[in-house]
Structure 1
């Protein structure tokens, strides 16, 4: 079952390193503003976007497989039909603990695959909203 309880969400929000798949370099877009908020609140945000050289002054990676740093959370800003492939890439890594899909993004089959592989899953929730509600 995807994570729903405030206790579990707060625990997940204690992790520090977030790879943001679909991170945008366009101010005003949610895929830019929410990762910026997370950076501003002390998270290590790793942008994953094959169409960007850098975001927030940091090199952007083409894919999760290319990320050299350890990842705690994979935050997904891509359409629901791309979640399965992102989950597969997260499972391939041995460091990812959580797959989090932003508001309006969900794939129940991919979530089950992630959970079966030992990952925690948060679907259809905004990290910024949950952080403001539980941590700010």
Structure 2
């Protein structure tokens, strides 16, 4: 297993920053796929109240339970702030989706002791490695 596969296999609860209301977008279909594979998904969105049948939180710091992995569907410019929040809540992994790269987020996450994955689709990693939580 590579680092991304190990990080995902170790996770049970995934907070998804930027989970979309639009089922046609990857920011909706990817978390839905993870949920179907048995992962607990906690949506983080600025204005929605419920997504994928789950209560939505405005920020990572508002989530009242432990989070193993933070999956990011936001622009790279927002990644450092999200990394700071991920460190603050004690997440184990920060994962920036495919196409998202941030040197500053990497430094913040790694300095905070988090595993850092960037520019990879979590759903592809899950499917190829056959990782489920059933």
Name the TM-score class by shorter chain.
over 0.9
Structure 2 contact 66–89 (Cα < 8 Å) conserved: no
Alpha-carbon deviation of 1:90? 0.8
Match of 1:81 in 2: 77
Match of 1:100 in 2: 95
Match of 1:111 in 2: 106
Q: Equivalents in 2 of 1:126, 1:81: separation in Å? A: 18
Match of 2:128 in 1: 133
Match of 2:14 in 1: 18
Alpha-carbon deviation of 1:23? 0.5
Structure 2 contact 71–96 (Cα < 8 Å) conserved: yes
Aligned-residue RMSD, C-alpha: 1.0
Q: Equivalents in 1 of 2:41, 2:74: separation in Å? A: 16
Structure 1 contact 10–135 (Cα < 8 Å) conserved: no
TM-score by length of 2: 0.93
- Runs of 4 or more off by more than 6 Å in structure 1? none
2:57 is the counterpart of 1:61: yes
Structure-to-structure mapping, 1:4-15, within 5 angstroms: 6-14=1-9, 15=11
1:82 partner SS: helix
Structure-to-structure mapping, 1:17-36, within 5 angstroms: 17-36=13-32
Segments of structure 1 that go 5 or more residues without pairing to the other structure are 1-5
2:14 partner SS: strand
1:13 partner SS: helix
Question: Which moves more between the two structures, 7-16 or 123-132?
Answer: 7-16
CA deviations on 1:58-107 (whole Å, 9 max, x unpaired) are 1100000101121000000000000000001111112x000000010010
CA deviations on 1:83-136 (whole Å, 9 max, x unpaired) are 000001111112x00000001001012101210110000000000011111125
